[in-house]
DNA sequence: CGGCGTATACTCGTCTACGAGTACTCGCTC
DNA sequence: GAGCGAGTACTCGTAGACGAGTATACGCCG
């Protein structure tokens, strides 16, 4: 997050967006999100919901518009978005759309620590991943086709994006996997050796040393 | 996260991985991560570091191996990984490599709420994003080339993956952008209308209604 | 040899995320 | 008409994330 938001949780963005359309009470927000299938992406956390609503109010982005007691159900507090809230929403959306984030997914971390496992293990794990990806993507694609028939595409961009990313991931994994299996990837023999002998081959030790001292003419990672 | 880990922070994974190679004290772990350029991905949070180390110890994944006082610097507590910790590390890595996560990036959320902004705004925001992506990717690619000359590729997989994902994102954004600009995307006129007249066209209202009641023969999103 | 900037190594308190639990109501069945 | 399960609407306690702050030592410049 480039700029520091008063309420940083992404749930807040969804809530602001809902309230930009009509006033609601918290439980209703959760229902609406669920109805729109957003719960596929994030589990609804009741704790977070009420915390976020409170914070939004605290910072003046939404305001209480009255409490209703319908039937004999518990009292419900209805909120509406404020002018400030609308401004914040637009500003936030603008930032998120225009500034690519540095995503640090768990998979990336795992890849960089993958050397702990043996090459054969990694090959088999990635094979499982790839199978899951392919299966999910096929389902996802079929699903998207169905939706395309009843909704204008403009509303499905988010789904299309997710699918595109998943497909790209599958393609990448497939490529690496082939190289690993064929053993054409540079460094794999040393890696295999480490796991067979328990010994670190000299060229790796050297790398390790160097990483501590800093390389000669270090190529200073950009960004 | 499919399984619930005793220590869920990804930082814990990196720390376990470090300690699998040699005992260290916390500050040293941070230095090592930084030296390896991992700080490009995540800012080192001192608070988290010590919290995570404590938790790892609490759950028996690492253990104190002695406190040293070198020179007259403050006392340092050195930790080493336990058998349990090594097992956990391997299990965790296995999971992360084999199970694709449902990533819910900020961009996805923003895309799905993008209708709040006007089409022209979104076009200009995405144009900025694309420019940044292209620039970053070019830098990243040049950088990777340099590294490839001094490190075996097997150690660069993580970087290659990140680049591949960024390139895929750029490609997708470029495609959508073209469609938006050309106006060939289904639903864009209605969207434009909303922002010009402030009125919701009837077909959108209808969709809104339907989303609340549930569609006829709902295509039950998979997963 | 005094002073100041930088590195080391951590501590503490706050703010946030979250999930289990609560309490009440409605509709339905037996 | 009592009992039960599903839905409604939220509360509260705890665990975790995080950053600002602290304290000490070392180098080195004049």
pLDDT of B190 above 50:
yes
Supply the pLDDT for residue B210.
Answer: 58
Q: What is the pTM of this model?
A: 0.89
pLDDT digits (tens, 9 = 90+) for A35-87: 887 655 557 789 999 999 999 999 999 999 877 655 545 568 899 999 999 99
Q: Are B36 and B47 in contact (CB under 8 A)?
A: no
Q: Show residues of chain B in contact with A32, CB under 8 Å.
A: 212
Residue A168's pLDDT band (boundaries 50, 70, 90)? very high
Taking the C-alpha atoms of residue B5 and residue A42, their distance in angstroms, rounded to an integer, is 19
pLDDT exceeds cutoff 70 at A213: no
Residue A206 — very low, low, confident or very high, per pLDDT cuts 50/70/90? low
Chain B environment of A105 (Cβ under 8 Å): 101, 103
What residues pair up with B78 in beta bridges, in sequence order? B66
Name which of A32-41, A98-107, A182-191, B5-14 the model is least confident about.
Answer: A32-41
Q: Please identify among residues 180-219 of chain B the ones whose CB lies closer than 8 Å to any CB of chain A.
A: 185-188, 190-191, 207, 211-212, 214-215, 219
Quickly count: other Cβ atoms within 10 Å of residue A101's Cβ. 12
Residues A223 and B140: their CA atoms lie apart, in Å, by 9
Q: CB atoms < 10 A from the CB of B139, how many?
A: 13
Angle at A194 (CA atoms; ends A193, A198), nearest 5 degrees: 115
Closest CB to B151: pick one of A143, A207, A214: A207
B186 phi and psi angles, rounded to 5 deg: -65, 125
User: Which nucleotides on strand D sit less than 7 A from a protein beta carbon?
Assistant: 7-13, 16-21, 23-26
Per the model's pLDDT, the better-predicted residue between A84 and B43 turns out to be A84
Q: Which of residues 32-51 of A touch strand D (CB under 7 A)?
A: 46-47, 50-51
**pLDDT above 70: percentage of residues in chain B:** 81
Share of chain B above pLDDT 90, in %: 59
Does B43 contact chain A (CB < 8 Å)? no
Q: Using DSSP bridges, classify how beta strands A76-81 and A62-68 pair: parallel, antiparallel or unpaired.
A: antiparallel
Rounded, the Å distance between the CA of B57 and C1' of D27 is 36
Q: What is the per-residue pLDDT across B94-119, written as a single tens digit (0 to 9) for each?
A: 999 999 988 778 999 999 999 999 99
Q: How far is the CA of B17 from the C1' of D24 (A)?
A: 30
Lowest mean pLDDT among B10-14, B34-38, B164-168: B34-38
Mean pLDDT, all residues of chain A: 85
């Amino acid at each position: 997050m480039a700029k520091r938001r008063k309420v940083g949780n992404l749930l807040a963005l969804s809530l602001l967006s809902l309230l930009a359309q009509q006033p609601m009470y918290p439980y209703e927000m959760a229902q609406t999100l669920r109805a729109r299938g957003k719960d596929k992406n994030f589990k609804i956390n009741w704790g977070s919901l009420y915390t976020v609503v409170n914070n939004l109010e605290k910072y003046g982005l939404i305001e209480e518009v009255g409490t209703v007691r319908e039937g004999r159900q518990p009292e419900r507090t209805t909120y509406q978005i404020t002018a400030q809230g609308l401004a914040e929403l637009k500003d936030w959306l603008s930032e998120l759309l225009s500034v690519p984030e540095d995503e640090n997914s768990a998979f990336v971390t795992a890849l960089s620590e993958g050397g702990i496992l043996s090459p054969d293990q990694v090959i088999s794990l990635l094979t499982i991943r790839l199978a899951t990806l392919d299966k999910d993507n096929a389902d996802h694609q079929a699903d998207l086709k169905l939706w395309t028939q009843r909704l204008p595409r403009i509303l499905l961009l988010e789904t299309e994006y997710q699918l595109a990313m998943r497909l790209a991931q599958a393609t990448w994994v497939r490529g690496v996997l082939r190289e690993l299996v064929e053993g054409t990837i540079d460094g794999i023999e040393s890696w295999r050796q480490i796991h067979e002998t328990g010994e670190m081959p000299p060229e790796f030790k050297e790398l390790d040393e160097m990483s501590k001292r800093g390389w000669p003419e270090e190529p200073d990672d950009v960004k």
